[in-house]
A and B are shown apart, each in its own frame.
Chain A
């Protein structure tokens, strides 16, 4: 039987396949080359919404096969339904590798599947490779990003969740039509014991923007007070960016946890990241080190954030930012 790499094609609340699926597809092409050109498959679990667009997106991403488990009962994510559908498919097709985006949904789903299948699962990986023995070598940060570990698995499927936005999507548009296998999963034997009663969406302002912002102006404890964060907001506004915060600032009540960046917050990869009054503990750095350009302003010239910075400025953000904001305003108006 040909080898197969299965990828969980997570869809968002509107039923659209999310970007991490495309990142995984691109990574899977590299893995496939080292694994006897293994077939790259997607598992989409859906109530049928947005199906044509999803098929198109999955084709462009270069999937060879798309399994579509479709039922009207699958509108909302359910750990119990989704895990059982994945398990049933895996038992049938026996993939070598099963990859899942390390979103909250992915990290909820994956351990239930791996535990039932008694296989290994490597969490929140930042790179994937196939070693000389043909095993999946999944690398991840541990100890708050202080140590990287490459982990292998001696059972099948070798499972991993992969952190979103770390691997790159492909620039290519694949033309080959994938083999589509659409089916109605058997849900009758599943004992559903969890029910979704309500969903309260985040206000667009905070959450969505920080994930997608090209410029992030981020503050830490050094921004001290409300006035400090107001300065950050002003700078973000003139630059058309978003405000982020370190855990220190969130713990001080200066910023909402929805904009916290770092290990226990979000991972961001903007074009420009401006860190103000952030010392740069590893827990913060793991959430922003993928930014294209990093500018850091800190009073302490030994602050570890300067190790990350393309441009480091030893100084007081409370003095530096007003001048900078004014200059950008003048330029915008001129």
Chain B
């Protein structure tokens, strides 16, 4: 079985710093694998543990440094990975990103059985790219997947978490799955994994390599654009009290509760 995992390098949003111009400071901010993609990797590796002859390939689209997250994934047990990197990809919105990634998959692993993505990325949080990739590849997609139950006879069965409960769904392979945070934690790198990660050859592919027209990627291929970015208004702080007098505290709270 051939599994492709799409991963993204994101700034650690717990550690946002601002420039003087109210833009997010990217330099010096640590980049991590998008946390939801870590569950996508773990889910793929769990399948590799169970199903013989399974290979897991990670791919990312980003600047050259994104190579680091591919190596990180290899240190966890992923077999190989590659980076879609080209100045022409810059400025891609979700439509252009999905187009670029799906073209990359068709170029490199056209006979995939499963593509696994994280449901959200913590920076953009659009949750649209996985579905876009599936649509371009013309394969079924299941979003909000909590657990992969089984792969059998050319079908994958999953547990999906929605607002009012859990659904059990079955999709014909090849398919795309978008993973939520799972009930299991992503594994850590292991010693041989580090060695593999160092040794691995991580290839870079440009728009010419994967044969995508510059009209379909980057700024040119993106129907949406940001017209304005700003910091959310901070709420006017209310009253702050500091006292050991529990009665006084309770009365204050009751005042608010009683409107």
Report A's interface with B, CB cutoff 8 A: 12-13, 79-80, 103-105, 107-108, 110-112, 114-116, 118-124, 131, 137, 141-155, 193-202, 207-208, 211, 215, 239, 257, 263-264, 272, 274, 281-283, 289, 293-295, 301, 306-315, 319-320, 323-324, 327-328, 331
Contact = CB atoms under 8 A, between A and B. Distances in A.
B143 interface: yes
Nearest to B172: A193
Interface string B206-219: 00000000000000
Nearest to A308: B235
A295 B228 contact: no
Nearest to A325: B250
Contacts of B126: 121, 123-124
Contacts of B165: 199-202, 207
A197 B241 CA distance: 54
Contacts of B94: 111, 121, 123
B222 A108 contact: no
Given A142-B124, A312-B238, A324 B228 contact: no
A313 B241 contact: yes
A316 B142 CA distance: 44
Given A150-B230, A193-B139, 19 more contacts: A104-B143, A107-B143, A110-B128, A114-B128, A115-B131, A142-B123, A143-B16, A144-B125, A148-B230, A150-B227, A150-B229, A151-B226, A194-B171, A201-B164, A202-B166, A282-B13, A283-B13, A283-B14, A324-B250
A100 to B, nearest CB: 12
Chain B binding surface, main DSSP class: mixed
A310 B126 CA distance: 31
B24 A111 contact: no
B242 interface: yes
A264 B120 contact: yes
Nearest to A102: B127
A206 to B, nearest CB: 11
B223 A295 contact: no
B224 A151 contact: yes
B241 A121 contact: no
B145 to A, nearest CB: 11
B55 interface: no
Nearest to B10: A143
A141 B185 CA distance: 27
A146 B13 contact: yes
A312 B252 CA distance: 10
B50 interface: no
B152 interface: no
19 contacts: A104-B143, A104-B144, A120-B224, A122-B224, A124-B125, A146-B232, A151-B225, A195-B169, A195-B171, A196-B168, A197-B157, A201-B164, A202-B166, A263-B122, A274-B253, A301-B242, A306-B240, A307-B235, A320-B246
A289 B165 CA distance: 25
Contacts of A123: 94, 124-128
Contact of A151 (B122, B144, B227): B227
Most buried by A among B93, B132, B223, B244: B223
